Amino acid sequence: MTLPKFILGDNTDFPEAIFIIHTEFPRFIINLENDEVEWFEDFDQEDQAELELEIENLIIQASTFYDREVERYND
């Protein structure tokens, strides 16, 4: 199965939250309500430094994906 890079998610237990799931390495979920990130990977100290450089870019990509999806729903 081929998955998209980002998936939009919601949950009625968290009515204000909007989740973006990143399906490629490093896999994570970001809650756009509060920008909290949950990682599905375990990182060692070496990976941690590289991840810090990439996290900002991944969050920007997730936000861009969300904006694009909302725009498409509103059209």
Q: What is the DSSP code string of 3-71? A: PPSEEEE--TTSTT--EEEE-SSSPEEEETTTTEEEESS---HHHHHHHHHHHHHHHHHHHHHHHHHHH
Task: Give the mean model confidence (pLDDT) for residues 29-52.
Answer: 85
Q: Does residue 57 belong to any structural domain of this protein?
A: yes
Structure tokens at 35: 């920008």
Domain count, the chain: 1
Range of the domain at 24: 6-74
Answer yes or no: pTM beyond 0.85. Answer: no
In order of 20, 22, 33, 50, 58, the CA distances from 66 in angstroms are 7, 12, 12, 25, 12
Q: Does residue 65 belong to any structural domain of this protein?
A: yes
Q: Does residue 1 belong to any structural domain of this protein?
A: no
pLDDT, one tens digit per residue, over 41-71 is 888 877 777 777 788 888 899 999 999 999 9
